[in-house]
Amino acid sequence: MRVKRGTSTHKKHLKIRKATKGYSHPNRISIKRGKQTVTRSLQFATRDRKNRKRTFRQLWNARINAAARINNTTYSKLIAGLKKANIELDRKMLAELAVNEPAAFTAITKEISAQK
């Protein structure tokens, strides 16, 4: 007796159709092209998750550098001073302080300059 595989294939096709919702017409209708575009979109998603981390770190560094220069120092001197003073603030928190709490950021820079 032969095994008909229509139901399993239909389930696979429905899975692809569901994933291609919102895509352009040929990519949504054709199963073959839909599978290709879903695969490519997952590759892009993986790549861009990594790039998001890179982009945010660049943004934080730029904000920290701008705030450091307002306080008469540079980014590299500020980070080196933080490490020397054993102040464990990550770049995300430093950038938040630089934007939202300039007085606190100024206090940190004064603490670092006092350590020298």
What separation, in Å, do the N-terminal and C-terminal C-alpha atoms of the chain show?
Answer: 86
Residue 1 within any structural domain of the chain: no
- Which domain does 38 fall in, by range? 9-115
Number of separate domains in the chain: 1
Position 116 scores a pLDDT of 65
Position 115 scores a pLDDT of 79
Q: Of 58, 85, 81, 83, which Cα lies nearest the Cα of 71?
A: 81
- Tracing tokens 């919102």 back to the chain, one arrives at 22
The token duo for 22 is: 């919102």
Position 3 scores a pLDDT of 87
**CATH number for position 78:** 1.10.1900.20
Position 72 scores a pLDDT of 95
For residue range 77-110, list pLDDT tens digits in order.
999 999 999 999 999 999 999 999 999 999 999 9
Position 1 scores a pLDDT of 85
The token duo for 37 is: 């575009």
pLDDT beneath 50, residues of the chain: none
